[in-house]
């Protein structure tokens, strides 16, 4: 597949979108070795011309080492962009590739998207493919699902994930279940995406984490992106998938900067990402908490610990293979998430790990989550609702005793 260069990629200038401090949340730079490992896996696959070429990823390390040389050359053609631009690139590439892909949401068209993810798309593709909807989440989510039943591939944007609670019936009953109750007649290749999570003093109703509510709906897949690289990859994979996929973005991560390959690539929807291999403890995290964990990891390394950090990325289904391998190596698990303590992703993950890997654990699985409170407005209080790096360090020290 030829490398694609898009107009949007050239705009490397960081826009002062939000008031947060970019220094606190910097995407892992090229010094992070796994980045090369990540990109090469898929670029090699895409370099081959056969459409169904599969790549044995879990083969020996030798294969990786050999391929790395060849592929490093390909992955050297990089361009730098922000996370929202990566999402936009992914969306634009898919819309170019398949005329059935359309976007619907509030202010996605002429306004360009409230977080600029769909900027420029309305000019390029027209009003019929980038649809500005009125404010009726229930109806336009239903419409997206109805259109998907006939073969279109809508990307439904919730301006803030919290607003999608109004469309819960459509997502749960129609989106998740129609493939099953129709005996396989209809597929719903819809992507539901939007920013969620605790932002900077946005208030309780705009700081929702919906992954905990949607996780038990059968028939949907959930993924959470955390870097520009996996944002673009997951967006493309989600659009191409025949299943309904909910893509969770985070309000505070839109301005992350990273260099991503020019070449086309897709991330695996059901796979977790190894952020930092280690020996002492497995830390499972996703979305924004990944950065808190990496910050804590710096402190931990200085103190002599060697944490293995995995960004689970796939919230439903869990990538128990990667997680299991890690648990078998380190025997200690810490889950750091932004969901509430009760019924969150961490709770399910704890149960899954305990069920499947109980024999390999030297200590009980510890889960650090947000407090079970509505997110307060005051800055200091809001900081205390989410997990901070210092708490992660303490938890690791406690587990590793």
Q: Which residues are catalytic?
A: 137, 206
Element (H, E) at 292: helix 289-302
- 158/199 with CB nearer another protein: 158
* CB 263, CB 90: distance < 8 Å: no
- When the beta carbons of 258 and 271 are compared against another protein, the nearer one is 271
In whole angstroms, what is the distance from residue 236 CA to residue 368 CA? 31
Give the H or E element holding residue 156: strand 153-157
Among the listed residues 27, 274, 275, 320, the single contact to another protein using CB under 8 A: 320
* Interaction residues for another protein, span 111-170 (CB under 8 A): 128, 131, 133-134, 136, 138-152, 169-170
Query: What part of residues 167-226 is at the interface with another protein (CB under 8 A)?
Result: 169-170, 173-174, 178-187, 189, 218-219, 221
Asked if residue 2 binds another protein (CB under 8 A), the reply is no
Alpha helices in 151-288 (DSSP H): 168-169, 178-181, 211-214, 228-240
Residues 252-271, mask of contacts with another protein (x by CB under 8 A): --------------x-xxxx
Q: How far apart are CA 121 and CA 132, in angstroms?
A: 12
Count Cα neighbours of 74 within 13 Å in the Cβ-side half-sphere: 25
Question: For another protein, which is the closer residue by CB, 75 or 370?
Answer: 75
Handedness of CA 352, 249, 136, 175 (dihedral sign): negative
Question: Which is closer to another protein, CB of 345 or CB of 393?
Answer: 345
The SS3 call for residue 221 is strand
Count of residues that bind another protein according to CB under 8 A: 68
Residue 182 main-chain phi, psi, to 5 deg? -90, 10
**Mask for 10-39, x = binds another protein (CB under 8 A):** ------------------------------
Residues at the interface with another protein (CB under 8 A) = 41-42, 45-46, 51-58, 102, 128, 131, 133-134, 136, 138-152, 169-170, 173-174, 178-187, 189, 218-219, 221, 237, 240-243, 266, 268-271, 317, 319-321, 324, 356-357
């Amino acid at each position: 597949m030829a490398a694609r260069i898009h107009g949007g990629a050239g705009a490397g200038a960081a826009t002062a979108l939000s008031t947060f401090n970019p220094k606190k949340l910097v995407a892992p730079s090229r010094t992070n070795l796994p980045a090369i490992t990540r990109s090469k896996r898929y670029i090699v696959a895409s370099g081959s011309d056969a459409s169904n070429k599969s790549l044995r990823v879990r083969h020996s390390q030798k294969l990786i080492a050999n391929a790395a040389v060849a592929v490093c050359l390909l992955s050297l053609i990089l361009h730098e962009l922000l996370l929202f631009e990566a999402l936009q690139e992914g969306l634009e590439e898919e819309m170019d590739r398949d005329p059935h892909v359309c976007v619907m949401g509030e202010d996605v068209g002429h306004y360009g998207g409230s977080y600029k993810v769909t900027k420029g798309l309305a000019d390029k593709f027209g009003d019929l493919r980038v649809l500005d909807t009125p404010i009726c989440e229930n109806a336009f989510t239903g419409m997206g699902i109805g259109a998907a039943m006939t073969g279109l591939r809508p990307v439904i944007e919730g301006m803030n994930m919290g607003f999608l609670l109004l469309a819960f019936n459509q997502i749960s009953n129609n989106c998740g279940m129609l493939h099953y109750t129709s005996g396989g007649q209809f597929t719903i290749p819809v992507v539901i995406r939007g920013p969620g999570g605790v932002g900077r003093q946005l208030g309780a109703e705009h700081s929702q984490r919906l992954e905990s509510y949607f996780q038990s709906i059968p028939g949907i897949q959930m993924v959470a992106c955390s870097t520009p690289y996996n944002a673009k990859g997951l967006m493309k994979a989600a659009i191409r998938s025949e299943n309904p996929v909910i893509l969770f973005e985070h309000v505070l991560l839109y301005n992350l900067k990273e260099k991503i390959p020019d070449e086309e690539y897709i991330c695996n929807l059901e796979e977790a990402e190894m952020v930092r291999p280690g020996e002492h403890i497995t830390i499972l995290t996703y979305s924004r908490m990944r950065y808190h964990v990496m910050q804590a990891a710096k402190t931990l390394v200085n103190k002599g610990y060697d944490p293995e950090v995995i960004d689970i990325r796939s919230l439903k289904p869990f990538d128990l293979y990667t997680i299991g391998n890690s648990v078998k190596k380190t025997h200690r698990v810490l889950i750091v998430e932004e969901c509430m303590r009760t019924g969150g992703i961490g709770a399910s993950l704890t149960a899954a790990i305990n069920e499947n890997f109980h024999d390999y654990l030297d200590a009980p699985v510890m889960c650090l989550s947000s407090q079970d409170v509505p997110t307060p407005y005051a800055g200091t209080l809001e900081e205390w609702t989410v997990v901070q790096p210092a708490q992660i360090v303490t938890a690791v020290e406690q587990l590793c005793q």
